[in-house]
Amino acid sequence: MTGLTLTFTEADPADVDRLGGKGAGLARMTQQGLRVPPGYVIGTDACRSYLAEKAVPGGLVDEVFARLTELEAATGKAFGGGPVPLLLSVRSGAPVSMPGMMDTILNLGLDRGAAVALAEATGDARFVADLVARFHAMYAETVLDALDPGAGIDALVEAVDPGEDAGPVYDRVWAACEQALADDTGDSVPDDPRAQLVGAIEAVFRSWNTRRARTYRDHHGIPHDLGTAVVVQSMVFGNLSADSGSGVVFTRNPVTGEPGLFGEYLAHSQGEDVVAGTRTPDPVTEALAPDVLDELRTTCDDLERNHGDVLDIEFTVERSALYFLQVRSAKRTAEAAVRIAADLASEGLPLEQALRHVTPAQIRQVQRPGFDDAEVERARAGDRLLTTGIGACPGQVSGALVLDSDRAKEQADAGRPVILARPVTSPADLHGMIAAQGIVTATGGSTSHAAVVARALGTTCVVGASEIVVDESARTVRVGDRTLAEGDEVSLDGASGELFAGGFTTSTPAAATAALGELLGLAAGASGCAVLSRVTLPADVAAARDAGAAGLVTAVDDVLAATGHLDGLVASLLGDGDGIDRIADLVAQEFTPILEAAGDGEVGVRAIDLVADEARELLQQTAVTTRHPELSVPLGRPALIEAQLSGLARALADSGGRATVHLAVRHLSDPAEARALRALGEGTGIGVGAYLTSPRGALGAGAIAEAGDVVWLEVRAVQAAMFGLPARQLLTAEPLDGYLARGMLSCDPRTTVDPSVQTLLAHVADAAAAVPGCRVGLRLSGEVSQEAAGQLLGLGFRRFAVDAAETRPLVLALGRAALGV
Ligand code: ADP
Ligand code: MG
C-alpha cells in the first residue's frame, strides 16, 4: 500500500486534518466498539494531490482495490457478485464541517450479477430495483452533472413485484435510467462496479471545488486548500424492510438546549429520504422500537460524555440492528449553547470542556433582543432597506417612527416602542432619546451629540443617515423617492447602520436565565478576574449587578449629559469662578441616586475630560478651551477637580455613604500630577486616581500608582496613540473596515492588542503587581474579542472595566482564556 488510505480500525481519530471530520468520527466510533459498517478513509492528502495534479495520485487505484478485498473479507460479502453482494457508500468529509456542501454516492456496486444475488439474498426484487434507480440517479447527478433523474423511474420501480425474476428487472430499470440520462446529458453510467468506484472517488475530490462549496468556505472563513477526505464504507439498508429505517438525532435539543434525545426517524427509508423532505419523518422517541431506542439513548449518552459535547448523529436501522453512520458536534443556537454548557458543567464535565462550545459572541446574542437573520436577508433582498448610516450604538430594534422628542416620550409612556428620527439631536432631545428604542439622525458622525449620548444610554443609534430627509411640518421622512409617515413601523440596526421599512420579529433576550448565571459564575471563578461595568443612569445599576459586575464605572460628563445638564455644564465651563460651584451641585444631585443604587460596591468616576477626542462636539471643546486654555491639561484648573470631588463627597453622604468612590482623571502621565491629585483628594472621603491614555502614562504607571488609589489604562486610547489615529476612529466600522480590507494595517486596533501596545501594557501589569495598595486595571471599550481577553489575562491583568453589555461576554472570555479553551 502507498499509504493513502486508512481503515476505521487503524486510523487515529485525533487526526482530523487527514481523516476529515466524518472519517475521524467513524474511526472513533468503530474503535469504541459501536456498530459501524466497516470501511476506510482516503486521506485529504490524496484530494489535494488530485486537485493539484488533475489526476488520481499514483497507486491510489491499486490501494482502493486492495482495500476492497479487505472489506469483502471483513463483511463476508463480494463486490460486484454473490452470494451476498457488497455495496458501498462513497462519502465526502472535510476537516471542517461543511454540511451538505459536497457529494455522497450510495448503493455503489450493483451490476447485473450483484443485483440478482442481492434479490436472492433478500427475497425482494423491488428493493433491488429501488437501489439500482437510486444509485443511477446519484451517480448521474454527482459524477456526470445530470440534472433530472428522469420522470417515470419511480413508477417503474413501484410496479416491480418483489417476487419477480431480478435479472430482467435490473435490465429494465437500468435501461430506463440510462435512457433518461442519455436524453438529459448524452452520458452513460459505467456498469462495471470498479469503474463506478473510481468515478465516485474522483467526483468527491472534485466536489471540494464546486461553486457552492467555495462560497460556503468564503462565507465561513475556511481555507480553500484543506481538501476533503473520502469515506468508502459498506452499505447498510434502512429501506430493506418495515423494521428498517434511517434517522438523525441530536443528543440534546439544538434549539433550546433542553436535555434528551431530539431527532427524526423515517421507517423504510435511506438517509437521503429524511433530508429530501418528500416524506415527513417521525420523532425518534416515538418511532423507534423500544429496544432500539434504548440502545440509541445509551450510546448517545456515552458518545456525548466521550466527546464532551452535544452531538449530531446519523444512524440507520437494518432489520432492527442499529448502525452508526456519522457523529459530529451539533450546530446549535446561542441560547442552546449557553444552556448546554451550563448543564454539561453541572453534570460533571470538566469546565474547560463545557466552556469550549460557548462563545462571547453567543452571549451577546442571547442577552440582546435581535432580529431574525433570515428575515433581515429577505428584507434586504425585498427592497425594505431604506438607507445605511453610521452605526453608533449597537442593537436591533423595531418601532413606530416619531419625529420629535415630546411625541417620542408620549408614545413610549403609552407603552409603544418608538424610533426617534431627527435631523440632528441636541440636549433638548434628551427625554425623547431616553424614551426611544432607537435613534436615527440624518447628519452627525460617531462623536455627535446623538452618538455620544446614545452610547452613554446604551440606546441603539444610527447617525449620519444622510439620505433621509426629516420633514417636521409634513410629519414625514423621505428617503429617495419613498415617503414614510410618522407612526409607520421601521427597524434599526445600530451595528450595521441599516434602517428598514417595517418591523422584524425580535427575539427576547434570554440573558437572565439561571443557566447563564451559573455559567458565568464558573467562568469568573476560573479566571479570578473582576469586571466592572459602565453605567450612566441609576436604572443601569441593577442590570450591571445582574450581569455579574464586580463594581461600576461612570463619568461625570456622561452622567450630566444623560440627565439633561449638558447646556448647564458647558455654560459653567465657559464661565468663570462661580460657574464651577454649579458643577459641584449638579454632581451632588445626579450622583446621589447612582450611589444609592450602588449600595456598598465600588464606583469609579471619571472626571470631566475636555480634551477627549470623543467629546469635541458634545462639550464644545474649541470654545471652552479657547476661553480657558488651562482646561486642556489634566489638572490645569484644580478648582474643577475640587468641584467634582466635593460634589461626589456630598452625593456619597446623601446616599448613606456605603459605596467606595474614586474620581479618576484622564491623561495623567506624570507622578507629579498624581501627587497633586492626591493632595486635592485629601480629606474628601473620595479616592483619586488616573485614567492613563498615553504611552508615557503607561511607561510611568508604577510611579503614578504609588500616588493614587486606582489606575485605569484605557486600551483604546493607547492603541489610538500608538497608531497615531484619532480615538474616535476606533469606535466605528468605517474608515478602518475598508482600510483593513485593503491590507493597509497588519492588525485591527479595534479587536486586537497590537504588539507595540502589549509591550506598554506589560509595564502597567508590573505596576499592578508592585503597588498592591493601588487598584490597577484596564478600561476596555466596545466588544472585547476572545483573543484580546486571552492576551490581557496572559499579561497578568485581573481587573477590567467595560461597557455594560460587554460584562457577561468578557467574564466568559476571561474564564475560557484562563482554562486554555
Ligand atoms: P452528508 O455529508 O451530506 O451528511 P453523508 O456522507 O453523511 O452526507 O451521507 C448522507 C446519508 O447517506 C447518511 O446520513 C446516511 O443516511 C446515508 N449513508 C451514508 N453512508 C451509508 C452507509 N454506509 N449505509 C447506509 N446509509 C449510508
Ligand atoms: Mg451526513
The reported pLDDT for the residue numbered 613 is 76
Ligand 1 atom nearest residue 231's Cα? 6
The reported pLDDT for the residue numbered 366 is 84
User: Is 617 a residue whose pLDDT tops 90?
Assistant: no
Residues with CB in 5 Å of ion ligand 2 = 314, 326
Mean pLDDT of 288-314: 95
User: Is 1 a residue whose pLDDT tops 60?
Assistant: no
| Cell digits of residue 354 | 463545557
- Residue 806 DSSP class: G
Rounded to the nearest whole angstrom, what is the distance from the C-alpha of residue 271 to the centroid of ligand 1? 6
Report the largest interatomic distance among the alpha carbons of the chain, rounded to a whole angstrom: 109
Whether the CA torsion 92, 94, 97, 98 is positive or negative: it is negative
pLDDT tens digits, one per residue of 517-539: 999 999 999 999 999 999 999 99
Mean residue pLDDT of the chain comes to: 92
Judge if the beta carbon of residue 272 lies within 6 A of ligand 1: yes
Ligand nearest to the CA of 272: 1
- Spatial contact of 561 and 504, defined as CB atoms under 8 Å apart: no
Judge if the beta carbon of residue 107 lies within 6 A of ligand 1: no
Mean pLDDT of 606-614: 88
Distance CA(421)–CA(399), nearest Å, equals 11
Judge if the beta carbon of residue 396 lies within 6 A of ligand 1: no
Mean pLDDT of 750-775: 93
User: Is 157 a residue whose pLDDT tops 60?
Assistant: yes
- Residue 415 DSSP class: T
- Residue 613 DSSP class: G
User: Is 451 a residue whose pLDDT tops 80?
Assistant: yes
Ligand nearest to the CA of 269: 1
Ligand nearest to the CA of 323: 1
User: Is 502 a residue whose pLDDT tops 90?
Assistant: yes
pLDDT tens digits, one per residue of 362-407: 998 888 778 988 899 999 998 999 999 988 888 899 999 999 999 9
Rounded to the nearest whole angstrom, what is the distance from the C-alpha of residue 144 to the centroid of ligand 1? 20
Quick one: which H or E segment has residue 368?
Answer: none
Contacts of residue 664, Cβ cutoff 8 Å, sequence gap at least 6: 604, 605, 606, 607, 688, 689, 690, 691, 710, 711, 712
pLDDT tens digits, one per residue of 577-588: 677 889 999 999
Whether the CA torsion 729, 732, 734, 736 is positive or negative: it is positive
Judge if the beta carbon of residue 264 lies within 6 A of ligand 1: no
| Cell digits of residue 125 | 426484487
User: Is 52 a residue whose pLDDT tops 60?
Assistant: yes
Distance CA(467)–CA(302), nearest Å, equals 58
The reported pLDDT for the residue numbered 271 is 82
Closest residue (by CA) to atom 1 of ligand 1? 100
Ligand nearest to the CA of 92: 1
Domains of the chain: 5-234 (3.30.1490.20), 245-358 (3.30.470.20), 384-506 (3.50.30.10), 528-818 (3.20.20.60)
Judge if the beta carbon of residue 229 lies within 6 A of ligand 1: no
The reported pLDDT for the residue numbered 259 is 94
Low-confidence winner among 118-132, 287-301, 432-446, 523-537 (lowest mean pLDDT): 432-446
- Residue 14 DSSP class: T
User: Is 512 a residue whose pLDDT tops 60?
Assistant: no
Out of 108, 314, 324, give the residue to mutate to test ligand 1, the one with the largest number of ligand atoms within 8 Å of its CB. Answer: 314
- Spatial contact of 684 and 649, defined as CB atoms under 8 Å apart: yes
| Band (786; pLDDT cuts 50, 70, 90) | very high
Write down the pTM of the prediction. Answer: 0.83
The reported pLDDT for the residue numbered 251 is 96
User: Is 616 a residue whose pLDDT tops 80?
Assistant: no
Judge if the beta carbon of residue 271 lies within 6 A of ligand 1: yes
SS3 393: strand
Using CA atoms in the order 357, 359, 361, 365, what is the torsion angle rounded to 10 degrees? Answer: 60
Amino acid at 736: L
Judge if the beta carbon of residue 89 lies within 6 A of ligand 1: yes
- C-alpha distance from residue 351 to each of 199, 467, 529, 815 (Å): 46, 50, 17, 10
Judge if the beta carbon of residue 367 lies within 6 A of ligand 1: no
Distance CA(539)–CA(207), nearest Å, equals 56
pLDDT tens digits, one per residue of 622-648: 888 999 999 999 999 999 999 999 999
The reported pLDDT for the residue numbered 53 is 95
